[in-house]
Amino acid sequence: MPSTPFGLAGAVVAARSLGYANVADLILDEQMPPPRIVRLFTSSASKAAGHDLALIVIAGSIARCRAEPEGWRADIERDIALKAIGADLGKITAAATTLVNKNWGDIERLAASIAAPRAA
């Protein structure tokens, strides 16, 4: 499943906002879809890793939905988040929505820069 520019940008901005600058750069450079992002967090000893992974993939999904609502589905991201936190997604979804809304300008600019090379 290829990442869309907005999904990728949402995940990158979320990772940066959580303090994962190197992870954000890797996600962007490798244009990682959600299943590959999981691999970055599987070896983490951090107690917050599951929460942070869930927030990152859900933020990517919400950004993708906001930009491209037609045909949007979040099955993969929902499954990843549920496995990562093993609980209700309500709080994560609310936090991811707030993050996306607050950083929408940055997400749009980053998505445009991601899409530009694809269009060339």
Q: What is the pLDDT of residues 32-77, one digit of tens each?
A: 999 999 998 988 878 899 999 999 999 999 999 999 999 899 999 9
Distance CA 92, CA 94 (A): 5
User: What total number of domains does the chain contain?
Assistant: 1
Number of helices (H), then strands (E), belonging to the chain: the values are: 7, 0
Give Cα 68 to chain centroid, integer Å. Answer: 15
Whether 28 and 8 have beta carbons less than 8 Å apart is answered as yes
Whether 24 and 12 have beta carbons less than 8 Å apart is answered as yes
Question: pTM (2 decimals)?
Answer: 0.92
Q: What are 67-110's pLDDT values in tens digits? A: 999 989 999 999 999 999 987 789 999 999 999 999 999 999 99
**Boundaries of domain holding 109:** 5-119
The reported pLDDT for the residue numbered 119 is: 61
The reported pLDDT for the residue numbered 24 is: 97
Give 88's DSSP letter: -
